[in-house]
Amino acid sequence: MPDITVSITDTEEKALNYICVGITTFTSNWLKNRARKAKDEIVALNIAHCNANDIAIGVGVTAQIDQAYSLGIIKTAEQRNIDAESESK
């Protein structure tokens, strides 16, 4: 599991302390919830693609996310940006 480090200014820390108890807990919960939403979206895209193309669906969320990448159903945000940039040239 990757460790993610975020640096914020003193002012940003003060602002966050106004809205939450424990900035680390707050950011961890936000990231985990956003990842959950992304997983749900990817699984839905993978299921729709596999059903439309008579492809056996991977068993479990991890397998389905891996399958979505390997089938080209999804790409990383970075890759989508690279593709969009090359298409605009």
The per-residue pLDDT for range 3-61, each reduced to its tens digit, is: 889 999 999 999 999 999 999 999 999 999 999 999 999 999 999 999 999 999 999 99
In a domain, 27, yes or no: yes
In a domain, 14, yes or no: yes
The pLDDT assigned to 67 comes to 98
* Number of domains observed in the structure of the chain: 1
Q: Name the residue range of residue 42's domain.
A: 10-87
In a domain, 44, yes or no: yes
Write the secondary structure of the chain as one string of H (helix), E (strand) and C (coil).
CCCCCCCCCHHHHHHHHHHCCCHHHHHHHHHHHHHHHHHHHHHHHHHHHHHHCCCCCCCCHHHHHHHHHHCCCCCCHHHHHHHHHHHCC
Looking at the predicted structure, is the pLDDT value of residue 2 above 90?
Answer: no
In a domain, 30, yes or no: yes
In a domain, 53, yes or no: yes
In a domain, 1, yes or no: no
In a domain, 46, yes or no: yes
pTM for the full model? 0.84
